[in-house]
Structure 1
Amino acid sequence: MATNELKRGVPNGRCKKLEAELRTELIAAQERLQKARFPTIIVLGGFAGAGTSEASNVLRQWMDSHGIEVCAFEPPSAEERERPEYWRYWLSLPPKRTIGIYLNGWYDRPLRDLAHGRSDEVVFDRDSDRIAAFEKTLVVDGALLIKLWIHLDKEARQQRIADLEQNPLTRWRVNADEREGLKYYDEFKRAGDRLLQKTDNRGARWQVVEGSDPHYTLAVGHAVREAIRQRLGKKKSRPKLVESDWPSAPNVLTPLDMEQRVPKKEYQALLERYQGRLYRLTQQARRKGLSTVLVFEGADAAGKGGIIQRLTDPLDASIYQIIQIAAPTEEEHAQHYLWRFWHPLPHAGRMVIFDRSWYGRVLVERVEGFADEAAWKRAYGEINDFEAQLTDHGMVVAKYWIHIDKDEQLRRFKARQVTPHKRWKITDEDWRNREKWDEYEIAVDDMIAHTHMPTAPWTLVEGNDKRFARLKVIDTFCQQLEQALASG
């Protein structure tokens, strides 16, 4: 943790000159950022009345405000409370080549809760670990994270409020939040000290700015300029993972009994029974506000679409949404790969079905070389953390790998080629992916080994017989819903 301040007693004339020089340098740095391939995230932390808002306004004035988005979060709305806490933070992240300024951001709620006794140090440390994991995810993906804590001691805070209240033109600026910060100063100070200690991490260091300095905004601008300069002046290094750290995963696909079948004459009766059971469970989940995220992955022509159709046929169309994942758009490319999956998370009592998902990072992106080795190996931990936030919030996460063997895939490919209304489903890319069958199987083994969690389990589905696969998915999903409803 570093302290960033100018020498006290700098004459006003000298400060004006320093400000003009700094503004020119910040604009030049921002122009270079607009050509970079990473976002810049500035966190201005501090207690109410410390000067974070003023510092944010100054940065926007000194730089091109068109490339800057300021985020100051109010208490969560009803819509936000239906999602995990970090849903709104992920959605607010700046795209590459732009700047996001956060006034306390994800630090505000844990800080207030500890200061007011709504949480203890154990809960606060858990919140701090969540913050550290979030920031690490952003930093290792390339984001420049600048964290500035504006410190204002109790005496200086009292004087600032008194000065504002004495002037009729500034009296309005003293709000309840600032009075609360003064009233509970000692509690906020202890909480702030613990927060700085717990979240001052590599790549996400805090710099402390003395807010009682009349020219503290110059120190803020200086810190931002220097951080941008340092980042642009060196090649970004990322952690490397060596092969010795990576044990072979057990083969989970070969032992599957791919001969399992359901006779056609039995299938329809079983399907109707399972669908009726599913309908009743989803209505219960809707009434209880239990949200669900389903993930479907599988080889090309495995039958994911047919399974999803039978799964949703009996459901009220207003409670579910199907998200079909394709290659990222230009907007999505400008963000962390997980960003686009946070967006459609369901309202309370609703269901989102992903036809392909964030697991593309460790499947197609790994095999096709779109993600380097360090990135896809790192993704397992990021995915587990993402899903843990969903389940910690009370969501049901159900994941299915639909497996078919190589001979069955070839049969289905050929059938698609000679069926006019299915011909569009087969592409040259499907044939190319088939050539890498063994590589994909290894990737699936690793995926299952590293992301099968008790709270977010994988179900391996023998898919050579479509009827069997459809029934197994609906049955196992019903079981998972029943367990969640019973425990809720």
Structure 2
Amino acid sequence: MFESVEVGNRLSKAAFKRIEPHMRHDLLEVQKELAVSPLSVIVIVGGAEGAGKGELVNLLLSWMDARGIDVQAFWDETDEERERPFMWRFWRVLPPTGRLGIFFGSWYTAPIIDRVFNRSDDADLDRALDRIVEFERMLADENVLVLKFWLHLSQDSQIKRLKKLEKHPDESWRVSKSDWKFVKKYKKFHRISERAIRRTNTAFAPWHLVEAEDVQYRTIVVTRTIRNAMQSALEALKNRPAEERRPDMPKPKKFNVLENLDQTQTLTEEEYEAQLTKYRSRIGFLARKLREKGLSMALVFEGPDAAGKGGAIRRVLSALDARQYRVVSVAAPTDEEKAHPYLWRFWRHLPRRGKITIFDRSWYGRVLVERIEGFCSPEDWQRAYGEINAFEEQLAESGIIVLKFWLQTTPEEQIERFRDRQTTPYKQYKITEEDWRNRDKWNAYEAAACEMIEKTGSDALPWIPIPANDKNFARISVMKAVAKALEDRLK
């Protein structure tokens, strides 16, 4: 693979001077188009040590409008980053629509380095690369153009370049001990990088190998590739048919997981108070152990309006230290959230080690309200099942305990609660016109919820459907499940 970029390509200074002004003009023009488009761009700059990655990034900032570019350098992980899933540090800095992000290092860096230094094996590397392919496919589907550059040097050229920099009084600071450490592993880096590039070279996010021996040649190849790719992506967006967003009204099966819930289960007030005291104490103790062990937890609450999600959440919170938890109430996305890939708004709220985040509604909105109300295209919600599964798997792999609750009432119980809210002054804020509109689509929401449970539930990350006609029973059922999950993990 790398033989193709060790052939001695060069560009004369005269040719470079002739091309430079036109290229700078073109880059600025295409950047202007980007600024008013629904596209965002990520430029990944990777490759051999001493290949001029820093010089290239500085040049891009000088040739383009730096005000529309975000440069992200991924050095050593911070404490905040180490305490969350690996991909969190990249998700949080994804560029919004209209902007270009330059990633100095990327999600490829750690998997490759870990394999080179035997901190992982081939199977670990391949799993990480497969996860990256999933991620980049999602970015492409969300109108993110990913441009991946690998600046290559032969081993001899790399050594010469680093020695030359070391001898230069104004440039010696660029060479570090780790650079020479990597040089000693050149052949292994060569082999493992080639494996990574082959496995992740896709139609939606291809790699661009660049011979980096000659500065002029390297510069024009990279800038021309960026210009052409951005022009093509912007043109494709202009010519793409208007996205069709229409409400989807599925019909529920006569027998389904929600209809089969036993809604006759109840608890008396005495039973409820006794069990509330028991589980409040148990959860409080286990939550402290969770913090001591450096684990974290994410609780997801979904269900129809007036199903008792808020009441169940408050009972769980009553067992916790307020310093340990955070409640995220999910409503319609803000303009900032709409400018990023769908799951961005949820990745940014993931808990650190020892913390608990409670989601009052969640990422499942895409396959529920957005599907039913036509807020997204059919393609968006259909692919969301796979994206959500991949997301939750990453949470679990990083040590986050994920519990997903669906609180279900009958339509008859819901109407009683709506009427109670209308007639009780301190509850009137809970009832809105939207609640009544959603009630008219009860069957569609039930069908969508059943499909969601079927496609996103697994042995490792199951849904926990709760019969919620009796509030006391539902609240204790939730607390029991939280306590059991903590006990199982902390054994």
Choose the corresponding residue for 2:302, options 297, 306, 310: 297
Work out whether residues 4 and 223 of structure 1, in 8 Å CA contact, stay in contact via their aligned partners in 2: no
Asked if the contact 1:4/1:207 (under 8 Å) is kept, the reply is: no
Distance 1:149 1:80, change over 3 A: same
Deviation (angstroms), 1:367 = 0.4
Question: How far apart are 1:317 and its partner, in Å?
Answer: 0.8
Which position in structure 2 is the counterpart of 1:105? 106
Determine if contact 1:116/1:187 at 8 Å carries over to the other structure: no
Task: Verify: 1:413 aligned to 2:418, yes or no.
Answer: yes
Aligned match for 1:388, one of 384, 393, 396: 393
Partner of 2:66: 65
Name the residue aligned to 2:340: 335
Conserved? CA contact 2:49–2:158, under 8 Å:
no
- Indicate if the aligned counterparts of 2:6 and 2:153 stay in contact, CA closer than 8 A: no
Distance change in 2, residues 1:11/1:383 (3 Å) = same
Q: Deviations over 1:296-328 (max 9, x none)?
A: 001011111111111111211111111111111
What is the 5 A alignment of 1:154-303?
154-215=155-216, 216-235=218-237, 251-303=256-308
- Which one of 366, 370, 383 corresponds to residue 365 of structure 1? 370
The letter of the residue matching 1:28 is E
Moved more, 367-376 or 171-180: 171-180
For residues 5 and 192 of structure 2, the distance between their equivalents in structure 1, rounded to whole angstroms, comes to 21
Please name the residue that 2:143 is paired with: 142
For residue 324 of structure 2, the aligned residue among 316, 319, 323 is 319
Q: Is the 8 A contact 2:42 2:146 kept in 1?
A: yes
AA aligned to 2:223 is G
Secondary structure at the residue paired with 1:79?
helix
Q: Offset at 1:9?
A: 4.9
What secondary structure is seen at the aligned counterpart in 2 of 1:92?
coil
**Structure-1 residue corresponding to 2:444:** 439
Whole-Å Cα distance in 2 between the matches of residues 164 and 88 of structure 1? 31
After the TM superposition, which of the residue ranges 256-265 and 384-393 deviates more from structure 2? 256-265
1:359 maps to a residue whose letter is Y
Instruction: Report what 1:130 is aligned to.
Output: 131
Matched, 1:20 2:25: no
- Superposed CA deviations along residues 254-301 of structure 1, whole A, max 9, x for unmatched, are 111112111123221121112111111112112111210000001011
Report how far residue 181 of structure 1 moved.
Answer: 2.7
Contact 1:69 1:94 in 2 (8 A): yes
Judge conservation of contact 2:421–2:431 (CA < 8 Å) in 1. Answer: yes
Deviation at 1:177, TM superposition (A): 2.9
Q: Which moved more, 1:201-210 or 1:4-13?
A: 4-13
Aligned-partner residue type, residue 482 of structure 1: E
Is the 1:397–1:455 Cα contact (8 Å) retained in structure 2?
no
1:148 aligned partner, one-letter code: F
Q: What is the DSSP-based 3-state SS (H/G/I as helix, E as strand, rest coil) of the residue aligned with 2:209?
A: strand
Match of 1:468 in 2: 473
Task: Provide the rounded CA distance (Å) in 2 between the counterparts of 1:114 and 1:94.
Answer: 29
> Once superposed, what is the RMSD of the aligned Cα atoms?
2.2
Which range is displaced more, 79-88 or 248-257? 248-257
Q: Aligned partners of 1:441, 1:104: CA distance in 2, in Å?
A: 45
Task: Give the aligned partner of residue 490 of structure 2.
Answer: 485
- Say if 1:41 and 1:144, in contact at 8 Å, map to a contact too: yes
Q: Which residue of 1 aligns with 2:247?
A: none
Structure 1 pair 434–479 and aligned structure 2 pair: CA distance change class (3 A): same
Whole-Å separation in 1 of the counterparts to 2:462 and 2:355: 20
- Whether the aligned pair in 1 keeps the contact of 2:406 and 2:463 (CA below 8 Å) is yes
Cα deviation, 1:227-270, whole Å, max 9, x if unaligned, reads: 00111122477999xxxxx9998721111111211112322112
Q: 1:163 to 1:290 in 2, by over 3 A?
A: closer
Q: Secondary structure at the match of 1:292?
A: strand
Question: What's the offset of the Cα at 1:162?
Answer: 2.4
Aligned to 1:243: none
Could you tell me which runs of 5 or more consecutive residues in structure 1 were left unpaired when the two chains were aligned.
Answer: 241-245
Query: Matched residues in 1 for 2:397 and 2:122: separation?
Result: 19
Q: SS at 2:472's partner residue?
A: helix
Cα distance change on mapping 1:24 and 1:316 into 2, 3 Å: same
Aligned-residue offset at 1:358:
0.3
Contact 2:252/2:444 (CA < 8 Å) preserved in 1?
no
Number of equivalent positions: 481
Q: CA offsets per residue over residues 356-380 of structure 1, 9 Å max, x none?
A: 0000011000000011111111001
Please report how far the alpha carbon of residue 165 of structure 1 lies from its aligned counterpart in structure 2 after TM superposition: 2.5
Q: In 2, Cα distance between the equivalents of 1:476 and 1:118? A: 36
Q: Which moved more, 1:447-456 or 1:8-17?
A: 8-17
TM superposition shift of 1:166: 2.9
Shift of 1:4: 8.8
Matched with 1:350 is: 355
Counterpart residue identity of residue 213, structure 1: D
Counterpart of 1:386 in structure 2: which amino acid?
Answer: F
Q: What letter is aligned with 2:224?
A: H
3-state DSSP of counterpart to 1:398: strand
SS in 2 for 1:433: helix
CA spacing shift, 1:477–1:9, aligned 2, 3 Å: closer
Name the aligned partner's letter for residue 323 of structure 2.
S
What SS is found at the alignment partner of 2:214?
coil
Structure 1 length-normalised TM: 0.95
Shift in Å, 1:127: 1.3
- Which consecutive unaligned segments of at least 5 residues does structure 2 have? 245-249
- Residues 42 and 103 in structure 2, CA contact (< 8 A), matched pair in contact too: yes
CA–CA distance in 2 between the matches of 1:484 and 1:237? 48
How far, CA to CA, are the matches of 1:454 and 1:189 in structure 2?
40
CA contact (8 A) 2:252 2:447 kept: no
Read off the aligned partner of 2:52 and give its amino acid letter. Answer: G
Residue in 2 that maps onto 1:78: 79
Map of 2:120 onto structure 1: 119
Q: TM-score, normalised by structure 2?
A: 0.94
Q: Is 2:397 the partner of 1:379?
A: no
Report the alpha carbon displacement of residue 5 of structure 1 after superposing the two structures with TM. 11
AA aligned opposite 2:480? D
The 2-side partners of 1:280 and 1:161 are apart by 56
Cα distance in 2 for partners of 1:479, 1:162 equals: 60
SS in structure 2 opposite 1:147? strand
| Aligned counterparts of 1:95 and 1:73: Cα–Cα separation in 2 | 19
